Chains A and B, each alone.
Chain A
Amino acid sequence: MTFPIIVVDDDEVDRYLVKRAVTKWDRSCKVIEVADGENIITMVEDPALFHRETDGQGQPAVVLLDINMPGLNGFDVLDAIQQRFAEDEERRSMVVVMMFTSSDNVQDQERALSYDFVKDYIVKPLDGDDLNRIIRRHAEATTPEAVG
């Protein structure tokens, strides 16, 4: 099975590490690196672009979302997803968001998990194998029809 993973993080090293960890586990996994909030919102707002970028073939996309980013931060992104997909249950189910942040702030955590499409709150740093396990668990739980 394959599902695209979108890493939204302004830290280049963090994106690189996630990408390496994920592809090590599944070479065919498509990892899309997004360096800021603006770009991910543009993708979310344009279904064609989103589909083209993720090439998910019906699989939900897993978004690993940082919180502290310059410009639009993680919460701005969550609000945008909430708004765009508010009346589109099907499309919303195509996005599984996991916060991947260095913020261990309890308020941040509570706020993030109040969005129904936010499935987890992972505090960096995290071992690559653990990250893989978490991603797979959430993605598979969301996949409409399990493949493989």
Chain B
Amino acid sequence: MNAPQHPIDVRQPDDALARLEFAFNISPTPMLLVDENGRIVLTNRQVEILFEYDAGELTDKLVEVLIPEDVKPHHPDLREAFMQVPAQRFMGTGRDLFGVTKTGRPVPIEIGLHPFSVDDDMHVLVAVLDITERKAGELKIRRALDAASSAMVMVDEEGRITLANALADQMFGYPAGGLLGEAIEQLLPERHRFRHPVYRRGFFLGKTSRSMGVGRSLFALRRDGTEFPVEIGLTPIETSDGHFVMSTINDVTEARAQEREARARNKELSRLNTELTQFAYSASHDLKAPLTSISGLLRFAGEDLEAGDLEEVKSSIHKAGDLAHRLSSRIEDMLTIARADHVKDDTEVVDLAQIVAEVWSDLPDDDGSGEVTLRTDFVLASEFRTNPTMLRGVLENLIGNAKTYRDQTREECFVEVTCREDEDSIVVTVGDNGIGIPERHHGDVFKMFKRFASDRNTGSGLGLALVKKYVDLLAGTIDFESSDAGTTFRVTLPNTPV
């Protein structure tokens, strides 16, 4: 503490300036007295130290000498406005206020202004608070908050946001600092706002840290009205200013999407695994069966040959030949299925009538199915664009089955192919009045190696599995109805735009 620069008599009530100077010099707070023209009348040593001036150096200078360059031009106006309506007030609360030292270094400050009359002249008593350290501390906390990987929002008991880190502003689409003062409910989807104050008050009563919305999905609202999924942790904070809650908010959009993706991928992998296991099992079983028969037939043929029964030998070899042929076409079908994933997925405009006609004429008649008639009914206004190879594969199998599994007890056996447009899709049906698929097999229809009528087992049991695979690859759907009266498969394919 500096000694008074000249002795004063504090008992002299009219020596106001002297009393003030005495008070100044014992005050730990930097203080100055400014006259109505903005001239510095008195300073204490603390002001001089703060602004790096020598003792008495500031006296008689305009107060603007302590004002940063950017504010200095307007300051006389501000000062005069204050003088018009002098009242005690604080400057700098809630905004950044700086003074400037002799060397031009800005110093963050808060200021108290008090109108003060000295010898009937209006003066202003100015108390300056150096908040450098507080600002540095705040900055440190601010940086820590802004470095956090979560959005952090602190609210008071009224639900007003008193603090938000950079990530919070960014996450909710507000400009920097834009969240301050907003109601926390502003960040909630409309449908949850009504109940939120109740939950909030409940939390303030409970005052223990916890996660919010355990076991349910939480959504937050951006400033632009879009929603996003979040996870929120709540921590009560007690300060001398009251109770607050710090919420830590994480945008889990990506995590949720990844979870969904992982789940979908798992499901797909598990499906593929099941398919593969079934394929390996069925393939070995189905390839082994004819081979075992062939080897049995050949063994008996050998015995018959020894015994000289050539007719029996001939019959067995003939049967073995048939089986070998069947086996070979079965393997061919398996290869087709294995290759289905590698069919070029180009699309082109297809002529359905022509493909159906070609498929029909290519079907074998040697099984006596020559009497089956083909009916068609195509109603197509727009071009049908799809992958021709896969479409042909689908039709070959469906039409082939419909023809093969005819009901020979009927007077007329027919296969009916229809085509309709349904919005952006093309619906192709292949129906027949054949023997139908027994109901107990309906769940297995599209599985590999399933045959339901073994007297006409020229089939490999792979046809419908291939159909399903092609339809899946074409992003379509397939279902069927089947009874004694016949079977109808309905294939819905997207009409691929050009």
Contact = CB atoms under 8 A, between A and B. Distances in A.
Interface residues of B, number: 22
Interface in A54-105: 66, 68-70, 73, 102, 104-105
Contacts of B297: 13, 16-17
Interface of B: 285, 288-289, 292-293, 296-297, 300, 319, 322-323, 435, 438, 440, 444, 451-457
A21 B452 CA distance: 27
A11 B457 contact: yes
B368 to A, nearest CB: 14
Interface in A9-68: 10-14, 16-17, 20-21, 66, 68
A66 to B, nearest CB: 7
A34 B444 CA distance: 28
A132 B453 CA distance: 27
A127 B322 CA distance: 20
Nearest to B435: A70
A47 to B, nearest CB: 29
A125 B293 contact: yes
A123 B292 CA distance: 13
B278 to A, nearest CB: 11
A13 B454 contact: no
11 contacts: A13-B297, A17-B293, A17-B297, A17-B300, A68-B452, A69-B454, A70-B435, A104-B285, A124-B292, A125-B296, A126-B292
Nearest to A11: B454
Contact of B296 (A10, A17, A105, A107): A17
Residue from B297, B451, B454 with most neighbouring chain A CB atoms (10 Å) = B454
B292 A125 contact: yes
Nearest to B320: A13
A102 B286 CA distance: 9
B453 A70 contact: yes
Contact of A10 (B285, B292, B444, B455): B455
Contact of B293 (A10, A13, A73, A107): A13
B150 to A, nearest CB: 52
Top 4 A-B residue pairs of the complex, sorted by shortest distance between their CB atoms: A125-B292, A70-B455, A10-B455, A68-B454
B451 A68 contact: yes
A105 B293 CA distance: 21
A16 B453 CA distance: 19
Given A102-B289, A104-B285, A10 B454 contact: yes
B319 A13 contact: yes
A92 to B, nearest CB: 25
Interface residues on A, range: 20 to 34
Interface in A116-133: 123-128
A70 B296 CA distance: 25
Contacts of B322: 13
Contacts of B300: 17, 20
B405 to A, nearest CB: 9
Contacts of B454: 10-11, 66, 68-70, 102
B456 A70 contact: yes
Contacts of B293: 13-14, 17, 125
Nearest to B300: A20
A45 B117 CA distance: 130
A81 B128 CA distance: 110
A17 B315 CA distance: 12
Q: Which interface residue of A12, A13, A17, A107 has the most chain B CB atoms within 10 A?
A: A13
A61 to B, nearest CB: 23
Most buried by A among B288, B455, B456: B455
Nearest to A16: B319
A127 B293 CA distance: 9
A73 B296 CA distance: 26
B289 A124 contact: yes
B392 to A, nearest CB: 28
B438 A73 contact: yes
Contacts of A13: 293, 297, 319, 322-323
Contacts of A70: 435, 453-456
A14 B454 CA distance: 12
Residue from A68, A73, A124 having most chain B Cβ neighbours under 10 A: A68
A59 to B, nearest CB: 26
Contacts of A68: 451-454
A73 B454 CA distance: 10
Given A11-B457, A70-B453, A127-B292, 5 more contacts: A66-B454, A68-B451, A68-B452, A102-B285, A104-B285
Nearest to B294: A13
A125 B453 contact: no
Contacts of B319: 12-13, 16
Contacts of A21: 296
A15 to B, nearest CB: 11
A21 B438 CA distance: 32
A69 B456 CA distance: 10
B345 to A, nearest CB: 34
Given A17-B297, A20-B300, A70-B435, A125 B455 contact: no
Contacts of B456: 70
A125 B323 contact: no
Contacts of A107: 440
A10 B455 CA distance: 6
